[in-house]
Structure 1
Amino acid sequence: MAVKKANQTFEILKPYISSVISSYAEVLFIESKKVGLLLLIASFINPNVALSGLLGVLFALFFAALIRMDPDYLESGFYIYNPLLVGMSIGFLFKLTFMSLFLIAVASVLTFLITIILHTLFSIYLIPILSFPFAIVSSIVYLSTLNYSNLFVETLYSHSFLLNSGLNIPVWCEAYFKSLGTILFMPNIWAGIFIFLLIVLHSRIMAIMTIAGFYFGVFVHSQLSGSYIQSLLNPYAFNYILVAVALGSIFLIPGIRSYLLALLGVSISVLLVDATAIFWTLYKIPVFTLPFNITVISFLFVLRLVRFREFAYVIKKTPENSLSYFLLSLFRFKSNEKSIFLPFSGKWSVYQAFDDVWTHQGKWKYAYDFVIRDKDGKTYKNEGLRLDDYYAFKKPVLSPVSGYVVEAADDFPDQPIGEVDNINNWGNYLILSTPSGVYVEISHLAKDSLKVKKGDFVEAGQIIGLCGNSGYSPEPHIHIQVQENMYLGSKTIPFNFVAYLKKDEVCFYQRPLKGDEISSFAADKSLDTRFSFVLESRCSYEVFKDEKKIDEFTLRVAMDRFSGRFFFEDPEKNKLFFAKEYGIFYFYDYTGKDRSYLKKFFMAIPRIALIGKERVKWEDFLTPRIVYEGFKKDFLMFLASICSKPFLYKGVWEKNGDDIKGTINIGNRQISVLTVIDKTHGFDTIKVENLIIRRKK
């Protein structure tokens, strides 16, 4: 009974304990309880600061419990790291006494309130609040204490013991480590070295940005001030580090543009540090992280407004992971473009493509016209004088997206061959709007052929009307465009098609060329069934290397309870996320350790067109994070942030839908991979070079 009660108590306290630990790591933009625990322990280099910070967290959590705030919101430490910093800032100035304890309690609750308010306001623009609440409240506290002479007389705290490290290292190196330590109110070389090692182990890109940010900021400041030593010893130089890390690796995807913006941000923060220091010194207030917050929030607000491509809309645990996810989304799914499905079934030909010689010009240049041709290349039978002679006439038109019908018309007549309607150029049309804000117009439909009406919701692939010859149309065809808004004839924007078949090749997220014959495809029913995975089902595999068994493991099919995403999970809790839709099965994300057999699945078959026809081929992309491990992976991921070129994967169906043979092209090297589909369900065999993962019989 006592054990059961203890377990229940632990479950209640678990999110609060997790919040305390995670808040320390959040200060460094790290999502790791291990790192948080190590930083908590390391903070006791300065016991007064450590206890004050811990008390700041506990007071904030007590207030959260008092107002019955859902503990799940607190577990990540996001709402708590600002009260932690405020507690530390007070502990850095005053000894722990009843008076300073009261000050910590009041300040931490105020910080918690401001954190929630600012987060609510900033989240409208998807902008992080960073440590802005801490900068505001700490300045308020320090300013208010100027009137509390009793507090200064009795509790002023000296921490000069931190400055003597006993290490004899160059001043340029010592200054860097002290600045790192100052982020957690520990201006000590040993603290800085410890924090640096934690950052290196977590992310090599982050570690590089701390170095680049600090020394570039010092260089800029020294050029302006004329004193290199003075610039090195600036107590607020840690702002340069925070700006570089935030812009160069966390909130922007690591890359050339992000690195340049990070250095520009560091330059701006140099001015803000000096300007703020002069003004704040009048009131004896430290600068804290105000320059960092102003710089980064300003950058992120503007970059979000202009839809900066490298804005990190999805932030993973490390910058390397964020970069890998971004590159996979960019190259595999063209995340920077609008994507729609084909508006037809069967084989059609591109009559006009983008910026073509006839009507696809000016603001309407991003559009496609499709017709049906016979083996002789003609679009009609007989003499082609009647509408019924044209193969495309009255053929079903399918919805290219899932969304709502926002505009529609189908009362215009189909024009006889040789005549066009110059007044109602678009003829009968349909405009669809998706929840993500994509507007698609389909024009020249047949009279009275619409199967849907304004306000209806349609699924992608649903029949919405018939191909016609209404409006300015020389012959029956499907005209399709993606446009800026819901109004007829709006300016068009570039787009691609999610998937189509061109001869014996499946093209993913591409644009066909003029004259190309392309067709949609449906999944083979047998393959579709074999790739329908049931929740909580399990499958065991044996691992062989050079024909010798080296391991075995079991995969479990699970679902993320928050996002509803499906994934395979191995015994070490590594996760390989997958999806199946519109005749395609694909892996799209991996979370977990470097060494996992799940990565071999990703390598062998990142995406499958569930057609199963022999000799059908396709291409895909992989990043170094999926292919490699350890130092090589880290080095190549850093190079990927500069050149942004993933590895090309080529796959082809063999043996009538049972085997998929592939290669991963890495420079002049090729990695051979093979996937054997199980006769009943899922994967039978995965082979990556000399490593074989085989289903246990």
Structure 2
Amino acid sequence: MKNTTAISFLKYFTATVLNSYSMLFFSNKKFFAIMVLLASFFNPYTGFAGLVATITAAIVAYFIGFSREQVKSGLYTYSATLVGLGMGTFYEFSMGFWILLVLATVLAVLLSAAFIAQLGKSNLPALSLAFIFTLWVVILSSKEFAVIGLTQRNIYWLNEMYAAGGTGLINFVQRVETIAMPDMLSGFLRSLSAILFQSNIAAGILLSIGLLFFSRIALTLMVAGYTIAILFIQLMDGYAGSVNYYNLGTNFMLVSVALGGFYIIPSVRSFFWSLITVPISYILVIALWKITYTWGLPVFSLPFCITVILFLFVLQLRKAGGKMVLTPIQYYSPEENLYRFTNNKERVLSDFYYYHLSLPFMGDWTVSQGYDGTITHKGDWGKALDFVITDKENKTYQGTGTEPEQYYCYNKPVLSPADGIVEEIIDYVEDNAIGGNNTQQNWGNTIIIKHAATLYTKLSHLKRGSFKVAKGAFVKKGDILATCGSSGRSPEPHLHFQVQATPYIDSKTLAYPLAYFLQQQNGNSIIKTYSVPLENNIVGNIIPNAQLQQAFDFKPGYIMKVTAAGYEEEAWEVMVSTYNETYFYCSRHHAYAYFINNGSMFYFTHYFGNQHTLLYLFYQAAYKIVLSTNKKITITDSFSQNIFATHPLKWFQDLLAPFFIFMKMKYTSMVIKDDDMLGGGNIVLKSYSQQYMPGSVKQKMLAGIEIQQGKLHGFNVAFNNNKIEASCKN
């Protein structure tokens, strides 16, 4: 037990240290963190001091008792890493130095926590503010300590390299330093290394390679920020003293990445504004230097912090979100931020943003008048829907059509579109004769239901005396409220439905989508999500299957064991996050698959961790499942754009992604077998994915899912003629 605890702590501690390095470049990738760590040791003394500070900060943050996940992410410790790198660059090593380094590290952790807490209240990042203030304190106070002295090592940094790696390392570094290359390129590489308090091409090359693998968008923004800074300085004939590699790297290149693709979803607009803010940061460098040099203090990354925080704060003041979107969920990768946002803004965000409203009837009805219709849906009352039932000849009645009873929709049940409380009922208006109109009581018999503080639905033209509920009653989605009639301004029986923000009978309408419904099209049922039916559409509700609902009803605490040839057995436990998100957790591979089940649909939202797992195969196979056995239903969705892409193609798409996404991954699922007539048979689902590119469509995955007696029995996934059969034990 003790060994297990020790190993767990060591993994946690290692992740904290590595993330402290990768966070310096807005990443959480371990391989990139290792490259950053190695690059810091091109100046061995600097690298060693940075590592000692990082380890110390990780220990301090752990024992203070901060959130384990936040400590592990490096949020509380990356500023201490910068403090260590800075002190290792400026000061000679001595006993006094190490004492001061430890104290400075503790201060950096405390300041990080304070800045994160305070700025976090306004959804703003702390960036490197803790590093700046800590190193300023060190610089000012160290002048009073006789045992702390400035170093001359940086003048003879090659001697340090020799001491660290001998002639082999020094020869390699010297060869790299003397490679013939354009001044712009060598300047870029040195500026990149300067973020780690270096000034050598070898470290810059290593970091560039790491950036290329970590994020093509980030590397592009680095290059763009550097180029704009150089061009602006030349154009303005700026002061040469401010054009050092540190400012180019920290205050210009990192501004471009932060605003172009990290805190803002990458796009043409984010690129434009990130490049506009680079010259602003340059102006701040000059202005702040005029202030700080009188105290003998460098400006460090303060212009970067001011520029980024100010711009993000101003964006939050917008009344409407605009087309430049602040990153809603941070995945620590510009590509992941972009692809997941693009993919999820419709399929996931709508599920959280909108209240789930359903169609207020059984069976298929036709929209006789849609939003902003030409008959009565006009002006402030235009966002409403009228429904009737039609036959194959598109008639709304049988026989002569001279009596209300001859109309198909007359006296049909009207259902509650969602849970709520009955706010108002009008039940005294007689039905009209066919062709008649009651303009004095134009809404006729009506029920208004309150679903939320400013969300009401109204159903009108109901039949007098048909109400099954009373005012003040609580109703559930699908409860029968009354029956369809022809009261009010209704020349023939029909159902009027609208959403409104206030509880009054004559309230203005509110444009609001229905969560899920089926639209009949060429003999097939097309699922529409968070949309509004159009005029003449034939629509109906999704009718869930009890066995499918049971099979995909994964409640917290549920554990499913999954086996397949060539794979180790996996146990998936259903858990709930602090944000009330439900997910599968595979402890063997530390993989997470987040999902939503809203009663009509089961679908995955995110996957994190090892992709060589059975959980990842199930994530792809059951990416989106409609909980109905209607074989006419075919559901389609989109994967994140890079899920099946090979590296050359993926990287090319990454470079173009902020401007144009040419590669799309489509997912399709359907029921192909249903022996569940009595509730105990088999149901087989089929799904597949296709990669769409200009001029080509390529199938990437084919899968099947088998349900037996309301339980997930197994699934199979085929890639490139390689088929994996998995069995599930509930």
TM-score (norm 2): 0.80
Find the counterpart in structure 1 of residue 294 from structure 2. Answer: 282
Number of aligned pairs? 677
Cα shift at 1:313: 0.8
CA deviation string 1:447-482 (max 9, x = no partner): 7847486696x6654556665667766666554445
Q: Distance in 1 between matches of 2:503 and 2:137?
A: 50
Cα shift at 1:616: 3.4
**In terms of mean alpha carbon deviation, does 231-240 or 293-302 score higher?**
231-240
Find the counterpart in structure 2 of residue 619 from structure 1. Answer: 636
Of 564, 567, 585 in structure 2, the residue corresponding to residue 541 of structure 1 is 564
Find the counterpart in structure 1 of residue 516 from structure 2. Answer: 498
CA deviation string 1:656-694 (max 9, x = no partner): 563636562513322345433426235543334534333
Cα gap change, 1:679/1:73 in structure 2, threshold over 3 Å: closer, same or farther? closer
SS in 1 for 2:87: helix
**In terms of mean alpha carbon deviation, does 18-27 or 601-610 score higher?**
601-610
Find the counterpart in structure 1 of residue 111 from structure 2. Answer: 114
Cα shift at 1:210: 1.6
Is residue 660 of structure 1 aligned with residue 686 of structure 2? yes
Cα shift at 1:264: 2.4
Find the counterpart in structure 2 of residue 692 from structure 1. Answer: 723
Identity %: 26
Amino acid at match of 1:161: Y
TM-score (norm 1): 0.83
Amino acid at match of 1:75: K
**In terms of mean alpha carbon deviation, does 606-615 or 487-496 score higher?**
487-496
Find the counterpart in structure 1 of residue 537 from structure 2. Answer: 516
Amino acid at match of 2:516: V
SS in 2 for 1:586: strand
Q: For residues 257-656 of structure 1, what are the structure 2 equivalents within 5 Å? A: 257-306=269-318, 307-308=321-322, 310-330=325-345, 332-333=347-348, 335=350, 338=354, 340-344=356-360, 345-379=362-396, 391-392=408-409, 395-401=412-418, 405=421, 408-411=423-426, 413-414=428-429, 416-417=431-432, 418-420=436-438, 428-430=446-448, 432-433=450-451, 439-444=455-460, 446=462, 449=467, 451=469, 460-461=477-478, 477-482=494-499, 489=507, 492-493=510-511, 495-502=513-520, 503-509=523-529, 510-531=531-552, 535-542=558-565, 554=569, 556-562=571-577, 564-567=581-584, 573-592=590-609, 606-644=623-661, 646-650=664-668, 653-654=671-672
Q: Distance in 2 between matches of 1:565 and 1:198?
A: 34
SS in 2 for 1:329: helix
Amino acid at match of 2:641: P
Amino acid at match of 2:644: V
SS in 2 for 1:266: helix
Contact 2:242 2:286 in 1 (8 A): no
Is residue 171 of structure 1 aligned with residue 183 of structure 2? yes
Amino acid at match of 1:321: E
Is residue 156 of structure 1 aligned with residue 174 of structure 2? no
Of 209, 226, 236 in structure 1, the residue corresponding to residue 247 of structure 2 is 236
Cα gap change, 1:398/1:79 in structure 2, threshold over 3 Å: closer, same or farther? farther
Cα gap change, 1:129/1:415 in structure 2, threshold over 3 Å: closer, same or farther? farther
Cα gap change, 1:170/1:452 in structure 2, threshold over 3 Å: closer, same or farther? farther
Q: Distance in 2 between matches of 1:491 and 1:134?
A: 53
Cα shift at 1:515: 0.9
Cα shift at 1:235: 3.3
Q: Distance in 2 between matches of 1:87 and 1:468?
A: 78
Q: Distance in 2 between matches of 1:529 and 1:609?
A: 13
Amino acid at match of 1:439: L
CA deviation string 1:324-351 (max 9, x = no partner): 2222213545749747432323212213
CA deviation string 1:155-195 (max 9, x = no partner): 11232334896312432222212221222222332222222
Find the counterpart in structure 2 of residue 548 from structure 1. Answer: none
Contact 1:410 1:450 in 2 (8 A): no
Q: Distance in 2 between matches of 1:79 and 1:694?
A: 44
SS in 2 for 1:298: helix
Cα gap change, 1:297/1:149 in structure 2, threshold over 3 Å: closer, same or farther? closer
Amino acid at match of 2:518: Y
Contact 1:421 1:470 in 2 (8 A): no
SS in 1 for 2:247: coil
Q: How large is the RMSD of aligned CA atoms in angstroms? A: 4.0
Amino acid at match of 2:85: M
Cα gap change, 1:69/1:259 in structure 2, threshold over 3 Å: closer, same or farther? closer
Cα gap change, 1:155/1:400 in structure 2, threshold over 3 Å: closer, same or farther? farther
Q: Distance in 2 between matches of 1:682 and 1:506?
A: 28
**In terms of mean alpha carbon deviation, does 347-356 or 391-400 score higher?**
391-400
Q: Distance in 2 between matches of 1:596 and 1:81?
A: 32
Q: Distance in 2 between matches of 1:203 and 1:278?
A: 36
Cα gap change, 1:198/1:68 in structure 2, threshold over 3 Å: closer, same or farther? same
Cα gap change, 1:579/1:16 in structure 2, threshold over 3 Å: closer, same or farther? same
SS in 2 for 1:323: helix
Q: Which runs of 5+ in 2 are unaligned?
A: 160-172, 675-682
Cα gap change, 1:282/1:16 in structure 2, threshold over 3 Å: closer, same or farther? same
Contact 1:554 1:570 in 2 (8 A): no
Find the counterpart in structure 2 of residue 77 from structure 1. Answer: 74
SS in 2 for 1:155: coil
SS in 2 for 1:75: helix
Q: Distance in 2 between matches of 1:353 and 1:11?
A: 60
Is residue 21 of structure 1 aligned with residue 18 of structure 2? yes
Cα gap change, 1:524/1:72 in structure 2, threshold over 3 Å: closer, same or farther? closer
Cα shift at 1:511: 3.3
